[in-house]
Structure 1
Amino acid sequence: MSGRDTTGNRAVGTARTDTERSVETALAAIQPWHGKRLEYAPVLGGLQNSNWRITVEGTDTRYFLKIPGAGSETFIDRALANEAAHRAGVKGIGPELVHFDSDTGVEVIEFLEGYRACTNGDFKDVAIPRQIIDIYRELHDGELLTVTKTMFDMIDEHLAQAHELDVKLPQDIELILGEYQVAKQALLASGLDLAACHNDPMPGNFLVADGEPMKLVDYEFASNNERAYELALLTTEMFYTEELINELVEDFYGRADFGLLARVQVCGALADTKWGLWACVNQQLSSAWDFDYHKYGCWKLMRARLKMSDPRWPFWLKAL
């Protein structure tokens, strides 16, 4: 008996690989499912985590199981991620949270039937970022999360990790970090506009379905952060033109004066600095990644320096 049925699911108890055995171990720890027949199948798309679709005997609902990848705990506060995911589920902008193991970080949410993950191609449709802004407004509304971790905290943390791990950074890193310090002081002097933020606009984190509202998933990097940084992450991730950025700033804030535009532009440079350092550190943590994180990180840092060398950079800083 292969353990694999015609739907592509594998029954618990028939694991053949270490990866499948890790899934069965995670499922065995979910008390409400003890004694029930469970089946699992891989879900593609995660960069660091192992993702699975779970079918439980006696229920029409299927579930999504996420097993954290080795080394990911270096960057992720699992309890905070769980708090943010739970809040999103209650607000209806994310799937319902079903199970969370604080020791292992294993998480189970409802499987959103009929939904698919966005791709970079989807983001060429301007309706997509406008839907995301609607989600961000809902996410940012209300009380803050229990933990504040700003883009400055993130960048400084990655700098410490890079030093500790002896990570190779680009030769011009001191120039980038010099401008980072200037931007940090300017933003802190202006006062941060804190909100409960998602902090990770990878296309696959946005799920869409015909006739259904967009959903936002994967709250591993969530924290209280500068509101403008949330929008800046989106616009830098998707290479949006300055014209579209200006339109999205107006959608996001209800106005688009020079001060707000400058705030998003400066935060965009910090977003590339943060994720550039993150990627370089991430490459050092594991050789198992099927992705050149160091090359990606150096490219992000190069783009941060490009924005910092824009003739308008000092005017943006002054406008904060």
Structure 2
Amino acid sequence: MAVPEVLDRVPLLSGVPRSVEELPGGLTNHNYKVTTPGGTYVARVWASDSSLLGIDRDAEHACSRAAAAAGVGAPVHAYLPELGVLVVGFLPGRTFTEADLRDPANLPRVAQACRRLHAGPRFVRDFDMFEVQRHYLGIVRERGYRLPANYLDFMPAVEDIRKCLQIRAEGTVPCNNDLLPGNIIDDGHRLWLIDYEYAGNNDPCFELGNIWSESDLPLGHLEELVTAYYGRRLRHKIARARLLGLMSKYGWTLWASIQDGANESIDFDFWSWGMEKYERAVAEFTGSALAYLMDEAARAD
């Protein structure tokens, strides 16, 4: 169905003058800014097989509402799963870039936004990258999608990391789990977090490690982000976030493999995107710091 037809079937957006502008970004949706006399909205129209990627659209809707209630997400105005569309309020402001995250002055602001989300209502599902990675691996094998060279060689190390992190596990909080720079909006006063496709209750150190991983930030920035989040420097939390950042790279690599094999509606080089993450993961798996990080994560400060 063409986008104008979809919008015509959304009561909030139909029967009124409107202008429609496609927004950049979005690897599983097409996003449109829709301006009407009554307000400005973003219509998120699904553009991929969400079941393969582990996206539950009902959960995305519920988590989006919870994030809005926490005061960190856009308000939710309409959800029509039969049309494949979620309508949220447009947040005026500037989308973050990697350069913004490389500015140390922004790291306490990001930590504060994460704390607001994490202190909000619990989400309707959990997110565990160890489980997600295994799910993605099963799909890649079953469907014969491309697997990076030597990918399976690191599975024993993944199991060691999983067991290590269980030692000092301190529960989960509602996390976005996908905070690329483009999912952070700066309105000039505060930061907002958008896009809750992968949202779920998770270890807060995954949120922090994933931010570090997605933008390939310097290690010192991860230490500053974790310290700003917890209010003091905790060696075991920094190590934990770094290990979960490694799992982020390793797991999202398979997300890219699935998208490369299955998604024909978005013109994007998913394989190269995933291989960049995988190469950085390999460097950490084979580097000298892995055993040290697991030791740091498992012991008290």
After TM superposition, the score normalised by the length of structure 2 is 0.91
Distance 1:127 1:172 in 2: 39
Q: Residue in 2 aligned with 1:98?
A: 77
| Structure 1 residues 232 and 249, CA gap change in structure 2 (3 angstroms) | same
41, 46, 50: which one pairs with 2:30?
A: 50
Q: Which residues of structure 1 form unaligned runs of 5+?
A: 1-20
Partner residue of 1:14? none
Q: Tell me, what secondary structure is at the counterpart of 2:2?
A: helix
Q: Distance in 2 between matches of 1:89 and 1:120?
A: 25
Distance 1:70 1:230 in 2: 24
**1:229 Cα deviation from its structure 2 partner:** 0.6
Q: Is there any run of 5+ residues in structure 2 with no aligned partner, and where?
A: none
Deviations, residues 10-45 of structure 1 (Å, cap 9, x unaligned) = xxxxxxxxxxx5212222322344433343222222
8 Å contact from structure 2 (residues 253, 275) kept in 1: yes
Match of 2:58 in 1: 79
CA RMSD of aligned residues (A): 1.9
Worse-superposed segment, 157-166 or 124-133? 124-133
Match of 2:232 among 248, 251, 255: 255
Match of 1:233 in 2: 210
Contact 1:88 1:95 in 2 (8 A): yes
**One-letter amino acid matched to 1:166:** G
174-183 vs 225-234, greater mean Cα deviation: 174-183
Amino acid at match of 1:47: L
Higher radius of gyration, 1 or 2: 1
User: What's the secondary structure of 2:88's corresponding residue?
Assistant: strand
The alpha-carbon distance between structure 1 residues 38 and 143, as it changes in their structure 2 partners (threshold 3 A), is closer
Distance between the aligned counterparts of 1:224 and 1:104, measured in 2? 27
Tell me the alpha carbon deviations over residues 174-222 of structure 1, each in whole angstroms, 9 at most, x when there is no partner. 2222211111122234335311100111111111233x32211111110
Greater Cα shift, 188-197 or 169-178: 188-197
AA in 2 matched with 1:266: L
Q: Which residue of 2 aligns with 1:153?
A: 131
Q: Distance in 1 between matches of 2:200 and 2:83?
A: 20
1:269 touches 1:305 (CA, 8 Å); kept in 2?
Answer: no
Instruction: State the partner residue of 1:138.
Output: 116
Aligned pair in 2 of structure 1 residues 177, 29: CA closer, same or farther (>3 Å)? same
Indicate the residue corresponding to 2:2 in structure 1.
Answer: 22
Deviation, structure 1 residue 69 = 0.5
2:246 maps to a residue whose letter is: A
2:100 is the alignment partner of 1:122: yes
Note if contact 1:116-1:207 (Cα within 8 Å) is conserved in structure 2. Answer: yes
Bigger relative contact order (CA 8 A; separation at least 6): 2
Whether the 8 Å contact between 2:253 and 2:274 is mirrored in structure 1 is yes
**Partner in structure 2 of residue 301 of structure 1:** 278
Residue 182 (str. 1) matches residue 160 (str. 2): yes
Q: Name the residue aligned to 1:270.
A: 247
Equivalent-residue separation in structure 2 for 1:247 and 1:189 (angstroms): 24
Counting only pairs closer than 5 Å after superposition, residues 55-66 of structure 1 correspond to structure 2 as 55-56=35-36, 58-59=37-38, 61-66=39-44
Q: Would the aligned equivalents of 2:66 and 2:123 in 1 still touch at CA under 8 Å?
A: no
Partner of 2:67: 88
Residues 129, 247 of structure 2: 8 Å contact kept: yes
